Structure 1
Amino acid sequence: MMRGHEEMTVSGPRRSGSFNRPSSVNSSLRRHSFSSSYVSHDLGDDDTESEAVSEAGDIGDRALHSSRNSESGMLRFSVDNVSESGVVVPILEDASLEPIGLSSHKTTALNTESTLPPSTLEIISASSVGGTVQQEDKKEENEKAIPWILEYISCLSFLSLFGILGVIARYYLQKLFGPGVIGATSDKSYMYLDLPANMVGSFLMGWFGVVFKGDIAKVSDNLAIGLTTGFLGSLTTFSGWNQKMLDLSREGRWVFAVLGIIVGLFLAAYSIIFGIETAKGSKWLKKRFGRDMKFTNSICNWNLDGFNSYLKATVVLLLILLGVWGICIAFETKEFNSSSSNAELLLACIVGPFGVWIRWFLARLNGRGLGKKPVLKWVPFGTLAANVLAASLMAALSTLKKAVNTTTCNTVAVGIQLGFLGCLSTVSTFIAEFNAMRLSSQPWRAYAYATSTIAISFALGTLIYSLPVWVRGYD
């Protein structure tokens, strides 16, 4: 009984405070930033929880749509509405609905200042409410002044640049941990080449996609999207993981293939847990010694979502993106016929952003379910479709390389696999959704989702790649 009273005491003020947040803090992206580390097992609305776990990784361009047209009455979970006791507190997006206990909370707050003259209280109340209203009106006008096309261009630019960085980081992690340097991974082992990148990306997803996503979004929603969907989604790759397991099974190394699937899932899942726990520790240190962290606090106070800063940032991002593409294309024309790995990396940087864009658009399917009366809302169909599609296309290109077997075909195929398909598929988002389901009231969904994604991708890959190689006898 005492435990329940403590939870109500702690969560009460949080609930009331969330209704009075400025729109810049309670933005659409932060409303959808479901903290997979704080899922309560006492949620009564299974449909709401199902939608929330499905949206744990990404919701695509719905974040931009909902920032203009909020879905009133819908419940969302975020890192901002978690009480100190770990209880998840739902935030109603319809601000006109007053939460239970809000009136009493206001009354208590006023009674503590009852020693002041009534006129003073009226002046303080009027000035604070007026100032808040003016700030909110100014913010709303600022948001409405941003055209939707500018929002899309800005977001796509963030995704592109961070996606290219993710491709480059994944490529060099392959080289670092591969046979040429450290030798921890290889093509012939269940410790596959992309395993370090998947682990690092999942770890960082715990930091920037779960614990600190709300703080990053206070600076810019698009920055948070670019960092998580763009960089971390492109740093990790599901299609590369699936293809290495297909190569092992094609060679008859079925034990290694099974071990590669189990070890890959386990290490990625533990990496995000380790990331969440260390990030929470860092957040505690920031809270404990916050007064001495002036630089960090000043960064958190930045806001790039105003119209002027939004426009400037978009122009700068576009110029940088066009410059990067121009440099890559110029060097690619010189390196293309050299059959070097540089040619493959340059091509990957050129085509990688297109994979990120498609995955981002597909993410709008997460949390939507199937049918007019949606069912299976807990399944992130957008992420599932991106991973299965990329794995199938990866298998098709691998078959093409075997069939054609020329230097030009190999360079183009590897560049597309490394860039476009590596960015189209993702492990970081997949594992964030897996972790959210695992910590929900129905943890079996996590294993059902992971098993379905892996089984469908591996089965289609076997039909597209392994079977033709066996039948045709390709080397």
Structure 2
Amino acid sequence: MSSMDREKTEFDGIAQSQGRVVVRDEKPPSQVKFYLHVSFFAMCGCLARIGTDRIFGKLAGIEDPGELVNQSFFSNIFGSFVLGALNGSPMGKTRLAALYKGLTTGFCGSYTTWSKWNQQQSLNLVGETPTSSHSQVLSIAAWFIGFYCFTGSYVVGLDFGKDVGNLIGKRVHKNGPKIADVCVGVLFVFAVIGLIIGAAVDPTLLGKTVWMTVLMAPFGASLRNWLSRFRIEKLKLPLGTLLANVLGATVLAIVHVINTRVVKSDCAGVDICWGAIMASAIGTGFCACLTTVSTFMSEICKLRPEHPRFAYFYAVLTVVLSQVICGIIIGASFNNP
């Protein structure tokens, strides 16, 4: 069954539980509307992640690449909770299916990031972070702490969504989807124009970097949404998310090597270096939005009750593939400067 057929089947069903009937539409939204919502909310999620990382990283000093609480730790926790709340609510089976797709795949998937989190552990394992000799131990401990926190946050959000989420999307006006589509479409166009203008006229390196990073977000999120159609039913393996996370982590590792070995030397003494801007945009925008922690955690939680072996296999396979590939790329470059 294709992703479009699955979406239509899920969309056309009338949800009846605990005495509630959720309104259904005559036909599911088109794929164009889905991608429009995903793209717009991906930019929102990317911008929110940049702000969260800055608050808990540079401003508060809580997140540190060489400690247990790595970069994007809190955005992964918050995003997993929001996705759990949305999945626990009936919103996905209403006329607002496209908006729901934008909030889950677009916002939550881009607010959380697997590639950035994975790379922090890779840098610790190969000893590239400015820490003491026990960085490898910190990396291993960070994996366990991260998984417990992210899955726990998703489960709490799921319970929250089931308890109070009935208010979200329970009654939807027949023109609700059209209003949502128009608003998101207009906002998306204005956002793209504004980001392009901002990247062109902003005199600061930080400003140009942020605008270009957010502009790259829709490409990563849209590719992840397209990959989500792939699945190995026999192994209960969400192949799409696995491919997205491993691919994004690999590209980010390559971008990191190019940035540290080539771009930084070329940009030395230059106030505005577009090489550094694009490296950051591809890493923090495209790769970070291509990968996701929230969806990854939700798939593990969905598999675990009936297929625990497949759930653990999926989790271990993702970690091992990401770490081995990134470790080879970063380690080879680190040991051969």
TM class by shorter-chain length? 0.7 to 0.9
Deviation at 1:470, TM superposition (A): 1.3
Pick closer, same or farther for the CA change 1:439–1:219 going to 2, 3 Å.
same
Deviation at 1:217, TM superposition (A): 3.4
Q: Does 1:301 align with 2:171?
A: yes
Tell me how large the CA RMSD over aligned residues is.
Answer: 2.8
Q: Does 1:350 align with 2:197?
A: no
- Matched with 2:185 is 318
Letter in 2 for 1:301: R
SS class of match (1:300): coil
Deviation at 1:322, TM superposition (A): 1.3
SS class of match (2:30): helix
Distance 1:60 1:396 in 2: 31
Is this contact kept in 2: 1:359–1:425, CA < 8 A?
yes
Is this contact kept in 1: 2:242–2:318, CA < 8 A?
yes
Is this contact kept in 1: 2:227–2:241, CA < 8 A?
yes
- Matched with 1:169 is 48
Deviation at 1:451, TM superposition (A): 0.7
SS class of match (1:436): helix
Superposed counterparts of 1:385-404, under 5 Å:
385-404=243-262
2:198 to 295, 317, 331: 331
Deviation at 1:446, TM superposition (A): 1.8
Superposed counterparts of 1:358-369, under 5 Å:
358-366=223-231, 368-369=232-233
1:188 to 38, 48, 66: 66
Query: Unpaired runs of 5+ in structure 2?
Result: 128-132, 268-272
- Matched with 1:223 is 99
Q: Residues 144-171 of structure 1: CA distance to partner in whole angstroms, max 9, x if unpaired?
A: xx8xxx7122111111111111011111
Is this contact kept in 2: 1:60–1:360, CA < 8 A?
no
What is the TM-score when the length of structure 1 is the normalising length? Answer: 0.62
**Structure exhibiting the larger radius of gyration computed from Cα positions:** 1
Letter in 2 for 1:327: G
Deviation at 1:382, TM superposition (A): 0.5
Distance 1:278 1:381 in 2: 28
SS class of match (1:364): coil
Deviation at 1:278, TM superposition (A): 2.9
Letter in 2 for 1:242: N
Q: Residues 185-241 of structure 1: CA distance to partner in whole angstroms, max 9, x if unpaired?
A: 1122121010101011111121102x10x2353141101111111110011000000
Is this contact kept in 2: 1:216–1:300, CA < 8 A?
no
Q: Does 1:255 align with 2:159?
A: no
Is this contact kept in 2: 1:218–1:303, CA < 8 A?
no
2:152 to 246, 270, 284: 270
Deviation at 1:66, TM superposition (A): 4.9
SS class of match (1:193): coil
Distance 2:7 2:162 in 1: 28
2:75 to 185, 197, 208: 197
Deviation at 1:411, TM superposition (A): 1.6
Is this contact kept in 2: 1:162–1:230, CA < 8 A?
yes
Superposed counterparts of 1:43-62, under 5 Å:
61-62=4-5
SS class of match (2:278): helix
Letter in 1 for 2:151: A
Distance 1:281 1:300 in 2: 13
Pick closer, same or farther for the CA change 1:311–1:202 going to 2, 3 Å.
closer
Aligned residues: 320
SS class of match (1:277): helix
Superposed counterparts of 1:62-211, under 5 Å:
62-64=5-7, 66=9, 80=15, 140=26, 143=27, 151-178=30-57, 180-209=58-87, 211=88
Q: Does 1:242 align with 2:100?
A: no
- Matched with 1:435 is 301
Deviation at 1:397, TM superposition (A): 0.1
Is this contact kept in 2: 1:170–1:194, CA < 8 A?
yes
